[in-house]
Structure 1
Amino acid sequence: MDPATTTAPMQNDCETEPSSVWSWWPSWRPTSMSLLKTTESKILACIQNDLWARFVTLPSQDRIWTLTLTNKVVRKPAAPKTPLVMVHGFGGGVGLWIRNLDALSRSRPVYAFDLLGFGRSSRPSFPSDAAKAEEQFVNSIEQWRQSVGLENMILLGHSLGGYLATSYAIQYPSRVSHLILVDPWGFPERPQAQTDGNGSQGTEVVKRPSVPRWVKAIAAVVSLFNPLAVIRAAGPWGPGLVNRFRPDFKRKFEDLFDDDTMTQYIYHCNAQTPSGEVGFRAMSESLGWAKRPMLQRVHLLPPSMPLTMLYGERSWVDSSSGESVVQIRDRAYTRVLLVNEASHHVYADQPEVFNRVVENICNSVN
């Protein structure tokens, strides 16, 4: 790793909540940026290829935690390969790509970074307006690209990262050689409740059981908080809460770690001061729909930009959005793949399949 990684002062090692009302939380929660750094280091120690890990400083002085991987064995080819840039999803970080980074960096440079407001990156305030919050994320990605010095890239985004990667590709199409979306969040429009007040004939209305009043009351209360507030509110019970509700994360990586390393990583990523989480909440409706659905804008991608969408067969994300994108883009190259035996985290559930598909896409670029 770059010596600067260990000597640079850690940002937000001593976190405090924005409001003094919650100033006692950090001491109650068994987390810190230092603990996140330690847990992540254990994960990154699995990497075999050359790894450069450092903070990339943006003009705003925000810092983006960045990994760059290159193959230590293969000499640089005569013609440099277009780098692959990987953008994680909500509540994640670069450590979740541990099953993919080595394989994908065999033939080209791979970059992975923590989105602004997540992981070890800076945690600035985000506006409450959906469009402005999205713009802050996208601007940070473009400023990161400029700071790193990439002319163009194969851009891959998972979940929220897929939504932001699409928004970025619409605004900066000349920088994206191929867009890869993995179980992207925020594409479909929220279904409108069908009403038939006049009892008109010829319309078929599906009647669903009404939501109990107590469920609506709880949902209304929960909507006042950030999505991961419960992890922070749980204090010393937070790590156990992640283990209990996300045991799948431990199973997905159990051949690499026989302890709670991955769930500890998830906990430390999300028990810090909420920032990107606030931005995500600004962009989302209740139950996880996007306020600005990407299906309404995907036609703005240039027809010349190849697009591949990967969905997990067992994911909660509806793959029918992919078919809608194919129809919207008409003759433009758009491919939709369904990965068997995979949930939302396709890259971890079926890493061999995922790595092979992504590598083939990269090789099609150059």
Structure 2
Amino acid sequence: MSPANAAMQDETDTEPTSGNWSWWPSWRPTSMSLLKSAEAKILACIQNNVWSRFVTLPNQNRIWTLKVTNKTALKYKDQADQTPLVMIHGFGGGVGLWIRNLDALSNSRPVYVFDLLGFGRSSRPSFPSDSSLAEEQFVSSIEQWRQSLGLERMILLGHSLGGYLATSYTIQYPERVSHLILVDAWGFPERPQPQSQESGGQGSQLKRVSPPRWVKALASVFSLFNPLAVIRAAGPWGPGLVNRFRPDFKRKFEDLFDDDTMTQYIYHCNAQSPSGEVGFKAMSESLGWAKRPMVQRVNLLPPSTPVSMLYGSLSWVDSSTGNTVIQIRGKSPTSVTLIEDASHHVYADQPEEFNRVVENICNTVD
């Protein structure tokens, strides 16, 4: 890891400040140190070896990073030859959401997870309002992160927004990605044009699952504000709001935590000053659609790069997009897997099946 030494900073370093928002904490019960504490409680569940650091990019932005390796491996070199798995979280998420997956997936190879630029504990710079420039800022930060760690090649997995960015990254840096795994990826389909009444029987092609209540709730304020502004505007009521709108997060992890640990983590991830959220809004037509749909660009992926697409059978993301990608890529290796009884957060709803599928995919690489 010698190339990385210069870029490493210990997690005890001073936390980044919130810039112009320094007057907010008296109203909003959050801070980077509270986020750090909530995350620490979650990460204490990991059984394997965890290495955690801020990775400092050339522009001085910092990316909060975990590397998880097998505790029982006799020597580090047992895993050193394995292609690492790098996982990118979705909108409003952070490294803590992978808690049900890190141990299982790190048994056979190193696993890296990080908070995307502008999310979680990573730096929160300003993002441009132009969709392509915002996307480029995310993607270039991922590439600078990879360079700082000295990773030559990786199996790249992205969930939701992370899947969109992982695809964009692979198009730009194809030589760095051995296999692309997309989990309920956001931003792929083109927004359907309103159909006239005469279209008749085409209704059967619509997604059978309507968006959950919280998606509709966020969509209603989306056009006026950053998508999570309501959580910040709620001030001291913010944590209760997260509990009310996302009770499923408590349920998904209830075997690990019998309290509000996960919803507190989600709250502290998203009650900080908006940054990545601004970048996401720049790339979004509305909450469910991208201004630059990825389906228009998947043909730019190298034909030799395998792509595996995973969907939750109960998700609001339409899995038929995966079949569209298969058609576009022709003879290129592309697969679609539906995970039963899983919603959008496939990795948390059905962790054993998710881990099994992902491990099998990784084993096809080495």
Structure 1 length-normalised TM: 0.90
Corresponding residue to 1:10 among 15, 33, 36: 15
Residue in structure 2 matched with residue 204 of structure 1 by the alignment: 199
SS in structure 2 opposite 1:25?
coil
Q: For residues 106-255 of structure 1, what are the structure 2 equivalents within 5 Å?
A: 106-195=107-196, 204=199, 222-255=222-255
SS of alignment partner, residue 199 of structure 2: coil
Counterparts in 2 of 1:311-350, with a 5 A limit? 311-350=311-350
Q: For residues 220 and 106 of structure 1, do their structure 2 counterparts lie closer, same or farther at Cα, with a shift above 3 Å needed?
A: closer
1:189 maps to a residue whose letter is: E
Q: RMSD of the alignment, in Å?
A: 2.0
Judge conservation of contact 1:17–1:25 (CA < 8 Å) in 2.
Answer: no
**Aligned AA for 1:246?**
R
CA distance in 1, matches of 2:85, 2:137: 22
Specify the alignment match of 2:62 in structure 1: 63
The answer to whether the aligner puts 1:73 opposite 2:78 as a matched pair is no
How far off its partner does 1:79 sit? Answer: 6.6
Q: 1:46 to 1:194 in 2, by over 3 A?
A: same
CA distance in 1, matches of 2:256, 2:360: 25
Measure, in 1, the Cα distance between the counterparts of 2:10 and 2:38: 15
What secondary structure does 2:63 align onto? strand
Q: How far apart are the structure 1 equivalents of 2:71 and 2:114?
A: 21
- Find the aligned partners of 2:12 and 2:80 in 1 and give their Cα distance: 35
Letter in structure 1 aligned against 2:247: P
Corresponding letter in the other structure for 2:316: W
Matched-pair contact (CA < 8 Å) for 1:194–1:205: no
Q: Deviations over 1:11-67 (max 9, x none)?
A: 12xx3546xxxx643210000000000000000000111100000000010000000
Kindly state the Cα deviation for residue 188 of structure 1 after the two structures are TM-superposed. 0.3
Query: Which consecutive residues of structure 2, in runs of 5 or more, have no partner in the other structure?
Result: 204-217
3-state DSSP class of the match of 2:186?
coil
Distance 2:345 2:200 in 1: 35
Taking the aligned partners of 1:275 and 1:219, their CA distance within structure 2 comes to 19
CA distance in 2, matches of 1:117, 1:69: 23
Distance 1:229 1:126 in 2: 16
Give 1:244's aligned amino acid: R
CA–CA separation in structure 2 for the residues paired with 1:89 and 1:49: 24
| 1:204 alignment partner AA | S
Structure 1 residue 112 displacement after superposition: 0.1
Letter in 1 for 2:333: Y
Give 1:199's aligned residue.
Answer: none
Q: How many residues align?
A: 344
User: Secondary structure, in 3 states, of the residue corresponding to 1:240?
Assistant: helix
Conserved 8 A contact 2:35-2:121: yes
Give me the whole-angstrom Cα distance separating, in 2, the residues matched to 1:73 and 1:352.
20
| Partner Cα separation in structure 1 for residue 195 and residue 133 of structure 2 | 31
SS at match of 1:190: coil
2-structure distance, mates of 1:16, 1:62: 14
**TM-score with structure 2 length normalisation?**
0.90
1:69 partner SS: strand
- Indicate if the aligned counterparts of 2:323 and 2:336 stay in contact, CA closer than 8 A: yes
Is 1:91 aligned with 2:92? yes
Query: Identity of aligned pairs, percent?
Result: 77
Distance, in Å, in 2 between the alignment partners of 1:295 and 1:286 is: 17
Amino acid at match of 1:125: S
**d(CA) in 2 for partners of 1:36 and 1:170?**
33
Matched, 1:354 2:354: yes
Matched, 1:35 2:34: yes
- In structure 1, runs of 5+ residues without a counterpart are 197-202, 209-217
1:7 deviates by: 2.7
